[in-house]
């Protein structure tokens, strides 16, 4: 059985399937409801039932007061929809609505993604999931050594299983660990989330995503969140990568394009001389941006999200602003490579 759930005061809606807890179904749909432990202990996911009927599907330790029960409060992590519902619940509208968290997680596995990139999979405990918004990052500490600020490359809809894309950089502590001795079960301390520029959940404009190199990590989280929301009429992903890393998750991007009628994926490799980094060469960056502009008659009608190294991101920012994209419709993530000991880059907002 499926039920339609409307959340007030935002008016957002999602479909709840079977006996799945309402909190899980809302997160899967890209709706950032307030919660803490997600395990019936803290009470932070309390919501008021306005219309419809729920049933409890998980045991809880948190005890609602008599006044809360009288007001129709329920714990979303422990109740499923028995009918269509209208609920009143707190949502995270911006980064400041999400508390800073410290969680000791574990390495699940490290997957190769081409010769120079590894995908680090980290899993949190069932009772300590990481709340974050698409486009945010966390500090990573391994073996007592605070290593890096890393973009979260996974969707907030799966708050327990996190992804990080790590670029091979010999001498970089995080890179050396991921490409060397890091193994499943190793502890990883997560501190975050950090970052204030995130996805605009309220927009109904089509969206363009521009990933420069390993800036794809941030863009991937944003794209997956946009797909979960199902409110954007059309999404276009441009992934501009040099020969060093290539389009290291091309199969995933093609799968998105095959599965969704409203999603378009375009891979672009700027021409480069031997040994040249095309993402740092102004003429190569301009050529890639001109290619994007040539495919859209009116860029001003889009929301645009950009992530990449400093030179490419800065050039992109000026480029889209000059072509009619309003400042409020443009999100640019600058990844500064090198000095922080981060295999992917430090984020400056």
pLDDT digits (tens, 9 = 90+) for 29-39: 889 898 888 88
Is 347's pLDDT higher than 80? no
81: tokens are: 């929809």
The string of DSSP letters for 46-107 reads: EEEEEES-EEE-S-------HHHHHTTEEETTTEEESS-EEEE--B--SGGGSPPEEEEEEE
Above 60 in pLDDT, residue 216?
yes
pTM for the complete prediction? 0.86
Of the listed ranges 48-52, 199-203, 304-308, the least confidently predicted one is 199-203
pLDDT for 126-139, tens place per residue? Answer: 888 999 999 999 99
Question: At the topology level of CATH, where does 98-194 sit?
Answer: Elongation Factor Tu (Ef-tu); domain 3 (2.40.30)
Between the CA of residue 292 and those of 102, 164, 267, 280, 296, what are the distances in Å?
Answer: 40, 27, 11, 18, 7
Mean residue pLDDT of the chain comes to 89
Domain ranges of the chain: 2-88, 98-194, 207-348
> What confidence tens digit (pLDDT) does each residue in 25-67 have?
999 888 989 888 888 888 889 999 999 999 999 998 899 999 9
Say how far apart CA 347 and CA 349 lie, in whole Å. 6
Tell me what pLDDT residue 315 has.
95
Given CATH 3.40.50.80, say whether it is the number of domain 207-348: yes
pLDDT at 196 over 90: no
Tens of pLDDT, residue by residue over 231-276, are 889 999 999 998 878 899 999 999 999 999 999 999 998 877 777 7
Can you give the pLDDT at residue 338?
Answer: 40
Q: Would you say residue 343 has pLDDT above 80?
A: no
Q: Looking at the domain covering 2-88, what would its CATH class be? A: alpha beta
Minimum mean pLDDT range among 9-13, 91-95, 229-233, 300-304: 91-95
Residue 336's pLDDT is what?
Answer: 60
Average pLDDT on 167-173 reads 90
Reply yes or no on whether the pLDDT at 341 is more than 60.
no
Q: What does 210-276 look like in DSSP terms, one character per residue?
A: EEEGGGHHHHHHHHHHHHHHT--S-EEEEEE--TTT--TTHHHHHHHHHH-TTEEEEEE-----TT-
* pLDDT at residue 340, rounded to an integer: 32
């Amino acid at each position: 059985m499926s039920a339609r759930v409307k959340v007030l005061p935002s008016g957002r809606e999602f479909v709840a399937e079977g006996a799945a807890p309402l909190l899980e179904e809302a997160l899967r749909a890209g709706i950032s409801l307030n919660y803490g432990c997600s395990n019936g202990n803290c009470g932070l996911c309390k919501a008021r039932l306005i219309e419809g009927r729920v049933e409890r599907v998980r045991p809880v330790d948190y005890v609602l007061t008599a006044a809360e029960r009288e007001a129709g409060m329920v714990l979303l992590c422990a109740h499923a929809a028995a009918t269509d519902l209208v609920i009143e619940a707190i949502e995270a509208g911006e980064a400041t609505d999400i508390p800073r968290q410290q969680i000791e997680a574990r390495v699940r596995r490290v997957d190769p993604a081409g010769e120079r990139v590894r995908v680090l999979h980290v899993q949190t405990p069932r009772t300590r999931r990481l709340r974050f918004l698409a486009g945010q990052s966390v500090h990573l500490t391994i073996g007592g050594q605070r290593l890096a600020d890393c973009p979260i490359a996974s969707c907030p809809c799966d708050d327990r299983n996190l992804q990080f894309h790590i670029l091979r950089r010999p001498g970089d502590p995080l890179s050396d660990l991921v490409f060397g001795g890091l193994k499943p079960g190793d502890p990883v301390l997560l501190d975050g989330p950090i970052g204030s520029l995130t996805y605009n959940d309220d927009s109904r404009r089509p969206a363009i995503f521009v990933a420069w190199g390993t800036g794809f990590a941030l863009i991937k989280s944003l794209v997956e969140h946009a797909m979960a929301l199902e409110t954007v009429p059309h999404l276009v992903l441009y992934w501009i990568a040099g020969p060093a890393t290539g389009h290291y998750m091309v199969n995933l991007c093609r799968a998105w394009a095959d599965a969704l009628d409203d999603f378009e994926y375009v891979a672009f490799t700027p021409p480069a001389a031997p040994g040249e980094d095309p993402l740092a060469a102004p003429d190569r960056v301009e050529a890639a941006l001109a290619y994007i502009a040539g495919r859209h008659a009116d860029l001003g009608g889009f929301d645009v999200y950009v992530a990449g190294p400093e030179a490419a991101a800065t050039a992109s920012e000026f480029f889209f602003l000059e072509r009619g994209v309003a400042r409020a419709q443009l999100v640019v993530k600058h990844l500064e490579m090198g000095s922080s000991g981060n295999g992917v880059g430090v984020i400056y907002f």
